[in-house]
Amino acid sequence: MLHHLDHLVLTVSDLEATTRFYSDVLGLEVRTFGDGRTALHGPGWKINLHEAAAPIAPHAAAPTPGSADLCFIVDRALDDVVRVLAGADVPVELGPVDRTGSSGPLRSVYVRDPDGNLVELSVQV
C-alpha cells in the first residue's frame, strides 16, 4: 500500500541553527511555505521543521528536539563528506562503519545536528 516517503517532521529548538546545519553543511534547500512554515528540501522529499515552542497541530504525541535518528544516502565519496564535515567543524561521532540500508550494504558516518538528532550519512556499497 505505501509507495514512498514524502516528508517527515523534525521538532527543533532553534530554527536558524537547524536550517544552517542542513543547508550549509548538508546541502538541503530551505523553503518557506504555507503561513511562514519552513522546510528543508531534498530530491523528491522534504523535512518540515516545527519549533518546539510552537508545535503545529496535528503533531507527534511528544514532539521533542533531538529525538530523531535519520539516515541519508550521499551523492559523493564518504571521504569527501568527512572533509566537508571537518571544514564545517562538525565532529564525526562514529565511522566510517558498515551498516545495512533499505537497499543493501552501506558505509556510514554519524554526526549530530544542532538539537542532537543522530544523522547518518551513507554511501551504498
Q: What is the DSSP string of the chain?
A: ------EEEEEES-HHHHHHIIIIIT-PEEEEETTTEEEEEETTEEEEEEETTSPPSS--SS--TT--EEEEE-SS-HHHHHHHHHHTT----EEEEEEEETTEEEEEEEEE-TT--EEEEEEE-
29 is catalytic: no
Mean pLDDT of the chain: 97
| Confidence class for position 8, pLDDT limits 50, 70, 90 | very high
Domain count, the chain: 1
User: For residue 2, is it within any domain?
Assistant: no
Q: Which of 16, 29, 51, 120 is catalytic?
A: 120
User: For residue 94, is it within any domain?
Assistant: yes
pLDDT at 42 over 90: yes
Residue-level pLDDT at 24:
98
User: For residue 103, is it within any domain?
Assistant: yes
CATH at residue 42: 3.10.180.10
